[in-house]
Amino acid sequence: MKKSLYCMLLLAVSCTGNKTEPSLSMQLSKGTWIDLTYSFSEETLYWPTADKFRFDTVFVGVTPAGFYYEAFNFCAAEHGGTHLDAPVHFAKGKWTADQIPLGNLTGEAVVIDVSANALKNPDYQITVADMETWEKINGSIPDDAILLFRTGYGSFYPDAKKYLGTDERGAEAVAKLHFPGIHPDAATWLATRRKIKAVGLDVASVDYGQSKDFKTHQLLYEKNICGFENVANLDKLPATGVYIIALPMKIKNGSGGPLRIMAWVKK
């Protein structure tokens, strides 16, 4: 049976003391690290009703003591830019941001490209058929995988009009959101027919922009399946052979938070 990337990395760690086996650094040198995170700045995109990222200067320059010093304060909503949706975001009693086991934020990943359909229809919802088609080519989605969907919308970030469907702010702008997401039927299929740790997309939500009840959020998060939203650079990842490390800000009792996510890809 084909070893997962997770097993390969564990094997590398366990063998670092055995000179007959490759070290962890040697194993990692056989791949490439890819940053899947957008920088946080005044350009960062947020839900129309959420507070935007603020970055205030405390001090920049030479101090009276004669040494150079920089410090800043930042403030932002949990959900914006590349970020984590903790399951408690839409499922009472499920994991908060600080409760998610590290093993559920790291591991083998697969990438399903639905851009051919999503770029034609801003209200496209990813279907069970999309996943079944991928599996016919690549085999079943592995147990305990992190599932990433590439819609192609990453090419629009941070242009709010193209990426979100509107650049307006406030409650009235929510009805004008248009971007792809995961259909609730597909979420049900994943929650009951497959065993995944997390799901991520290169759009602002796991539900499509016109969703009113956020049913996909409810269905996935009830099963403690985490969400990664506004993931960058999915166009640089292959369908398989990917290992993900997704480390959110550890906010106690948080429903989410800024996420630094990266991928290791086999050469």
DSSP string computed for 61-78? EE-TTS-EEEEEEEE--S
In-domain check, residue 39:
yes
Domain region containing 38:
32-266
- What was the pLDDT predicted at 28? 83
- Amino acid type, 141: I
Give the whole-angstrom CA distance, residue 229 versus residue 180: 12
Report residue 66 as tokens.
């004669």
Structural domain tally of the chain?
A: 1
Report residue 23 as tokens.
């070290």
Residues 172-219: tens digit of each pLDDT: 999 999 999 999 999 999 999 999 999 999 999 999 999 999 999 999
In-domain check, residue 183:
yes
- 55: domain CATH number? 3.50.30.50
Report residue 246 as tokens.
């997704």
- What was the pLDDT predicted at 106? 98
Model pTM? 0.91
Candidates 79, 83, 89, 217; catalytic one: 89
- pLDDT (average), residues 26-36: 91
Report, in this order, helix, strand and coil percent for the chain, each rounded to 5. 25, 25, 45
Give the whole-angstrom CA distance, residue 140 versus residue 121: 27
In-domain check, residue 74:
yes
- Going by C-alpha positions, the residue among 214, 248, 252, 234 that lies closest to residue 83 is 248
21 vs 67, higher pLDDT? 67
In-domain check, residue 93:
yes
Q: Quick check: is 89 catalytic?
A: yes
In-domain check, residue 3:
no
In-domain check, residue 5:
no
In-domain check, residue 8:
no
Residues 135-182: tens digit of each pLDDT: 999 999 999 999 999 999 999 999 999 999 999 999 999 999 999 999
